[in-house]
Structure 1
């Protein structure tokens, strides 16, 4: 059976990062559910912190660097996506938004996406519904019902008998795994011979 592809986008700015920690827990929960369903998965983790300069350059030049192109291709070719951002001023971070701004706006059509966010207080949790969910709805992704927010007090709290962070992570991972398991694995895009990429065509038009 062909292996599924899971792209995990984390927009944390610090190291260590609670945003990356939440992304890792969601990845683990999703992977466990897929393993139980007999669907092997390959995970491609994308740290936007490492691509910040590349994203900014791409926005003003239209030319992605090789690492950024690899990240964009990983998201576009994934069978499922986990997208996690810190919340700044009641919304997603600028770095997070900029990455999805440079992604082709048809790349996530029909792709299952699990959205999650971190913040210092639970008051920021509404950003999942008023900012992240509309963003991925616009990109025509299939957003799983359970969105996961982790405030500072959530870490280490809760157990299997309560509605703590571990329960929400497990539920969201199960929902994403269910959607991914019901999809045929994404096939690698065939390379077109003799086709000059649009970026190269633009470069050829520039005065030397």
Structure 2
């Protein structure tokens, strides 16, 4: 009998893998079975250990070089910027390319709004921030009404992006004006107390910005000295 301690004997066609085999000297003076012994294969003894993940490794299976198992990250965890699982391969040195999982934002971050670009997503761990920036000549309006050209979205402790979106659209601005006016913004234009409307219309009129100029709803409106 030949003991094969460092490997398992290769088996094909559904035969079991074993770590030893035997040959016998028959009545006819020949060794049985005849022919060459099956070759040995190196195998991975233990389940691959992946931080914050589970695997589909089976303890009754021999995993030889080239065999693979899948490791799946726990809920709200990722292995890189995109994937929640990874494939591990048995090698002569053991399980290869084992990457730990980390807690982060599994869902895609909000899409960029109109006329806006979003920073590339290279990581999704907690407290990761992504910058959303308007194209040159455009601004977005924050919830507080402030006009800005960029904003941040953060991966929170709950594994969700904050703010969650949708992101505002960036609107073209009248360059050089103070404050800058977004396209379609409206605001009130009022005559000073000592002045009156030249059209006898109410002293307040709405103006809008059409990319090029601020337009009066009433083109004849102007303020003149009071009579």
TM-score range, shorter chain: under 0.3
Task: Please state which structure has a larger fraction of its residues in strand.
Answer: 2
TM-score w.r.t. the length of structure 1 is 0.21
Task: Please state which structure has a larger fraction of its residues in helix.
Answer: 1
User: Greater Rg, structure 1 or structure 2?
Assistant: 2
TM-score w.r.t. the length of structure 2 is 0.20
